[in-house]
Amino acid sequence: MKKTNDIQEKVDGTLSAFDAIGEVKVSPFFKDKAMQRLFEEKEEAMAWSWFTPKLQLAILVCFVVLNVLAFVRLDSTEYDTNISEFADSYGLFSDSETSIFN
């Protein structure tokens, strides 16, 4: 029986708290300030809006293609002969030297 009275007192206390709630005073410029903050955030987000996923994918594909082409060109023997000719012409290459990269 005491639990029922305690529950009823808590319910009555909660309902009386609703009566104590009054009207909130708001600044007349609250809406303008809030809207201004919202639009400022949108302008910052629009700075990167041109960098869409489609553009990111296109850049990624170009990057991969360029890397593959560079790797194929680097692996060819033509590159080695060009480097050897360049080194010989400027005296940068000697046959007696050994290198860990050969």
What are the pLDDT digits (tens) for 10-52?
Answer: 888 888 888 888 888 888 899 898 888 888 765 555 666 778 8
- Is 63 in contact with 55 (CB distance < 8 Å)? no
- How many angstroms separate the CA atoms of 61 and 71, rounded? 15
pLDDT band per the 50, 70, 90 thresholds, residue 54: very high
- How many angstroms separate the CA atoms of 93 and 102, rounded? 13
The whole-model pTM stands at 0.35
